[in-house]
């Protein structure tokens, strides 16, 4: 009990009370028969399995397609809270796009000494091929999935900016569909903001970023690495929902200076390519020559301004965890405002003083690889054994520039529906922002990921995390 009280729970207050956003839901829940809910929970799983809402786990030949466990207790956010969050996300997204444009053009921020030059010049995520290129509409990050965590009533932190190719939005949509299907009555009692417009908005937003020379209705397509990719379900889901083609590298080629897809009627030009393939695999002629996933010559078409690539190549530099630590300064530099959303205190292990501190306090900290994602290669100090700590310390000493460290945050919890009733579990939140010259549009809510093991702070689906439907209340 002691342990649970240390964390902020978004639903339950200390003695029997619930926080205001959950009041209506709690009334409904109290009248529900737990047996019925258990049954519903199993139904949901069968539904996910049948419709093939699965993800692939790398390196697990046997259980290749796994389900992301779905928890039926929603995560509820008050409208007032959301307004502040979305304002903060917009500010950040604007700053990130300005930063990317600057970094690949005049580099004012380096000249001003705000971000150290070597952090850019020696960074693998910085693409020299992008220098001097301005993407159509000056948009670099067409889709952003900012990871947020909460530690208290008014304390939200940005954990990561995910400016490359954030995934998970299909779960946001399917989770809502599942809830609507299972508990339609809930949604007539409680007014929840809609998320179902996302695919339509995504298509419109992408089309609005089409190259200037594009005449008529822009042709949009999604580029997937193929059915073995961990997020393939999402790629095909979004293509389906948007009504656009889902292409692989071998469906595409350069025809008369444009990227064209091989159709049953011949080659057809693509104007906007929402690619879910990493930069380095995008173009074997310009990047990794062994890549079978990309399109030879696409960067030349891009340079000529004949295709929009979303997100733009080279945006990964804004995702870099060492750059992250400068975000408050970056925001202030480009917007002239203080950052609305807080950054987590971050030690850059490349700096000797920080490294010394991190090594000394390893058992209290979370250490991450600068370019890592998906929860791979990270250390959660408080959960690690002595042996794990000492072997991680050795890795850290060998290549300190590859790591950053952060305090172990006391992440908020939301209850899950467990066998013995409600049980608090740590959560994070990934809202999805769409960027185009027409503006920034954020789907209300986003994806809530939940660590299913008691006490665990790792919410990644590849590490056994689950998801919840996320509600933003109206008014």
Residues that bind another protein (CB under 8 A): 49-52, 227, 232, 236, 239-240, 245-248, 250-251, 253, 261-266
User: C-beta of 261: minimal distance to another protein in Å?
Assistant: 6
When the beta carbons of 17 and 52 are compared against another protein, the nearer one is 52
**Token pair listed for 426:** 């740590």
Q: How far is the CB of 244 from another protein (least distance, A)?
A: 8
- Kindly state the smallest distance separating residue 173's Cβ from another protein, in Å: 14
Shortest gap between Cβ of 207 and another protein (angstroms)? 18
Q: How far apart are CA 450 and CA 411, in angstroms?
A: 11
Nearer to another protein, 273 or 349 (CB): 273
Question: Per-residue b/e over 424-449, b at no fewer than 16 CB within 10 Å?
Answer: bbbbbbbbbbbbbeeebbbbbbbbbb
In the complex with another protein, the residue whose CB is nearer, 163 or 173, is: 173
| CA–CA separation, 414 and 421 (whole Å) | 13
Write down the residue that tokens 């004949």 correspond to: 306
- Cβ-based neighbours of 249, under 8 Å, separated by 6 or more: 223, 277, 291, 292, 293, 294, 295
Q: Which is nearer to another protein, 38 or 51 (CB)?
A: 51
Provide, rounded to whole angstroms, the least separation between the CB of residue 336 and another protein.
44
Closest to another protein by CB, 64 vs 189, is: 64
For another protein, the closer CB: 65 or 300: 65
CA end-to-end span of the chain, whole Å? 35
Helices and strands (H and E) in the chain: how many = 16, 24
Q: How far is the CB of 179 from another protein (least distance, A)?
A: 18
CA angle 153, 157, 159 (to 5 degrees): 145
φ/ψ of residue 365, rounded to 5? -105, 165
- For residue 403, give the nearest of 324, 326, 318, 322 by alpha carbon: 322
Distance of closest approach, residue 279 Cβ to another protein, in angstroms:
23
Are the C-beta atoms of 456 and 449 separated by less than 8 Å? Answer: no
Nearer to another protein by C-beta: 37 or 253? 253
Could you tell me the smallest distance in angstroms from the CB atom of residue 220 to another protein?
13
Closest CB to another protein among 97 and 224? 224
Q: Give residues with Cβ within 8 angstroms of 143, minimum separation 6.
A: 165, 166, 202, 274, 310, 311, 432, 433, 434, 435
């Amino acid at each position: 009990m002691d342990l649970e009280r240390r964390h902020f729970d978004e639903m339950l207050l200390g003695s029997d009370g619930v926080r205001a956003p959950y009041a209506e839901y709690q009334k409904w829940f109290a009248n529900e028969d737990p047996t019925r809910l258990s049954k519903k929970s199993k139904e949901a799983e069968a539904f996910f399995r049948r419709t093939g809402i699965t993800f692939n786990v790398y390196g697990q030949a046997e259980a290749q397609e796994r389900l992301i466990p779905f928890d039926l207790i929603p995560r509820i956010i008050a409208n007032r809270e959301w307004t502040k969050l979305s304002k903060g996300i917009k500010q950040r997204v604007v700053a990130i796009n300005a930063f990317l444009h600057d970094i690949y053009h005049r580099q004012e921020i380096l000249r001003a000494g705000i971000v150290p030059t070597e952090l850019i010049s020696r960074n693998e995520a910085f693409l020299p091929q992008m220098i001097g290129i301005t993407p159509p509409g000056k948009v670099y990050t067409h889709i952003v999935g900012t990871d947020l965590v909460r530690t208290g009533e008014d304390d939200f932190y940005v954990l990561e900016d995910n400016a490359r190719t954030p995934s998970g939005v299909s779960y946001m949509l399917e989770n809502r569909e599942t809830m609507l299907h299972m508990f339609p009555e809930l949604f007539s009692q409680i007014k929840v903001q809609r998320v179902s417009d996302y695919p339509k908005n995504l298509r419109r937003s992408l089309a609005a970023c089409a190259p200037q020379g594009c005449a008529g209705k822009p042709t949009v397509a999604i580029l997937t690495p193929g059915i073995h990719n961990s997020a393939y379900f999402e790629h095909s889901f979004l293509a389906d929902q948007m009504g656009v083609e889902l292409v692989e590298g071998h469906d595409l080629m350069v025809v008369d200076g444009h990227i064209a897809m091989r159709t049953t009627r011949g080659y057809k030009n693509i104007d906007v390519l929402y690619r879910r393939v990493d930069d380095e695999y995008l173009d074997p002629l310009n990047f990794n020559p062994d890549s079978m996933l990309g399109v030879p010559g696409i960067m030349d078409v891009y340079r000529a301004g004949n295709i929009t690539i979303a997100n733009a190549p080279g945006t990964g530099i804004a995702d870099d965890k060492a750059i992250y630590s400068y975000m408050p300064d970056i925001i202030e530099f480009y917007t002239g405002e203080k950052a609305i959303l807080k950054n987590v205190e971050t030690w850059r292990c490349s700096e000797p003083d920080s490294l010394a501190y991190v090594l000394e306090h390893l058992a209290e900290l979370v250490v991450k690889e600068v370019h890592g994602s998906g929860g791979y290669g990270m250390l959660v100090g408080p959960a690690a054994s002595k042996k794990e700590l000492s072997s991680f310390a050795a890795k850290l000493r060998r290549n300190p520039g590859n790591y950053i460290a952060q305090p172990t945050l006391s992440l908020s919890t939301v209850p899950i529906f467990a066998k013995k009733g409600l049980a608090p579990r740590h959560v994070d939140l990934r809202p999805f922002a769409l960027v185009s010259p027409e503006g920034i549009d954020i789907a209300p809510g986003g994806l809530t990921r939940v660590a299913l093991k008691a006490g665990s702070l790792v919410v990644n689906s590849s590490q056994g995390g689950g998801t919840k439907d996320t509600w933003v209340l109206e008014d």
